[in-house]
Structure 1
């Protein structure tokens, strides 16, 4: 087999059978199998870290092939969604930071073309450290423009995201730019979400099940054929189902939770989707402070007033979707997303007007 960790490819041998991702790495269409795969990656990371094993063992001396303790066979998947690609990049970046080594790609020449192109467009190979970071943030291809994954530990990179999203908005409507009363609320809501993550996703009193690196990952895609802008945000910190039961809430929220929570859940995360749904519908706390939960309702308000759109929030083992006609649906699975993932799509209609009240 051929491995690559940046630099020149090498021949190598593996000491164990490979780990195969599902053919479709997608939370919308193949949630359980995708989450099982990411769970296995996290568990493997934990075991490797505790055992202090090298991912690539070159200790056998000159002339001997490097040995892998195991590897991910990415010649198997035929599709990866943007959201799954962002989570994958985050997991690999965490492993590189914690262990000082990134799992090598294996037999890159056998990877599915769509999977490779998606990861390359999103800047996966730059994020994990295989190649140097590019200066350009926007990647062009046909009717789409993609903002490569921005990995940040604070909100300082919001300006970079702001400029990139402005470029994506201009691409969607090159003749008549998206008006400020649409794009500004869009960026304001995104800024609220990013600030919430960078300020509150990694509290000192929270002990995560896996090592984390206090980061936030953001990516975006503009599709001119659909006139849509999609933004994906992901963090590996404390989740909505963990924090929401621990904050002061308005009486109407308490009534909603008393009515909908399952008193005897069948599995640990069964109520997680209900907490996310409450956060999306009502926001955060009795104090109504901005950092205590206004971000998600604000993002929904942009959808309602800017045009057609949808938003899905995945957090710990739960998910909640607000679809394009305003309906909410939610649920939970017995596997964790390893943090909170937001996928937010807005159809940018230049004739629309947005204002926050």
Structure 2
């Protein structure tokens, strides 16, 4: 083989360097274009052309005063922007944790806007930085509502996420708890669907019968709103967990107009004074406790008026579990395993509706039903 001269070797070396430089330049231009597009998209979001950026809170939870305020401000901002006809961009970059109560309230509010506004709102969002948060938004249907592609394989979802089931409906459940749910969308935990606990049945019925007796004070003035409920449910590690939400007027507003409508003002005051050991009797949390107490005392019909009390009864029979009820500004918590079994308090901000979070051991179902039959 003929050996290349020094000049030929130098020429080949220059040619290789030119080709390498050209390839490197193409790669740089490609990555530069990507960076430029990303900067442009970020600028468009800042300018609002993709929708007004609204940052989601770090924690979606209702029993912490600071987090509660943040999520309620977040929801109020969404309602306000959508009402003004703006395109809305939800930014989940800061979100780190999503609990059942705060997440269900967010899902219910979002679903309500899509269902009942005259013109479908344009809402978009980014993919969260936190992988679990992204899985939650996918699992409970937020991405489907917004129209954002789901990236996570359902088989690879985290154990804290994949068991949650989401459903919404309007049908008031029957007088007895035997019939399965009707007229709902989504999936309900099988055990709940098959044996349908009386307390959850009655709570749903109350959502339909009492929660929507007046216009919700959220500034939307929606017309033709159905008596709708939203639910998360899951069976995991020997427990059944149910979160149930309605976006009605709340227990403090509906109770005086329903179960107390025939009471005199003196009898109402006497009743409330009798169930509160200290503090004011006109607060929202006291009205939640009053609704439970009325359910305990008014048992003229076996399937009426005992929804919230029935949730407590199942916990008492099991000896464990917990119940939390948020309604407007009030909060009621019941947990027999704690020193303070029953806690009531008011927050500064209103959830503008009612949200029930119920956690009970699976074994308590059979015990409760046996107890009821005797």
TM-score where L is the length of structure 1:
0.71
Structure 2 residue aligned with 1:299: 311
**Deviation sequence 1:123-143 (CA, Å, 0-9, x none):** 3333x25279xxxx9998648
**Deviation sequence 1:101-123 (CA, Å, 0-9, x none):** 34533331x43111111222223
Structure 1 residue aligned with 2:72: 38
Shift of residue 87, structure 1, vs aligned partner: 0.9
Unaligned runs of 5+ in 1: 3-8, 56-69, 170-182
2:365 pairs with 1:346: no
Larger Rg: 2
Shift of residue 166, structure 1, vs aligned partner: 3.2
- Which stretch has the larger CA shift, 111-120 or 311-320? 111-120
Maintained 8 Å contact 1:220/1:231? yes
CA distance 1:15–1:285, change in 2 (3 Å) = farther
Structure 2 distance, partners of 1:294, 1:139, is: 41
> Of residues 88, 98, 104 in structure 1, which corresponds to 2:106?
88
CA distance 1:261–1:349, change in 2 (3 Å) = closer
Shift of residue 78, structure 1, vs aligned partner: 0.4
> Of residues 330, 336, 358 in structure 2, which corresponds to 1:324?
336
Shift of residue 84, structure 1, vs aligned partner: 1.3
2:217 pairs with 1:209: yes
Structure 1 residue aligned with 2:232: 219
Structure having greater relative contact order (Cα 8 Å, sep ≥ 6): 1
Structure 2 residue aligned with 1:117: 135
SS at the partner of 2:231?
strand
CA distance 1:111–1:91, change in 2 (3 Å) = farther
Structure 2 residue aligned with 1:67: none
SS at the partner of 1:158?
coil
**Deviation sequence 1:14-63 (CA, Å, 0-9, x none):** 335733232112113x34433443244235424542x3x241xxxxxxxx
Unaligned runs of 5+ in 2: 1-36, 174-179
TM-score where L is the length of structure 2:
0.68
> Of residues 94, 102, 125 in structure 2, which corresponds to 1:106?
125
SS at the partner of 1:115?
helix
Maintained 8 Å contact 2:249/2:352? no
**Deviation sequence 1:261-317 (CA, Å, 0-9, x none):** 98879xxxx710111122224428868557863100011111111341100000011
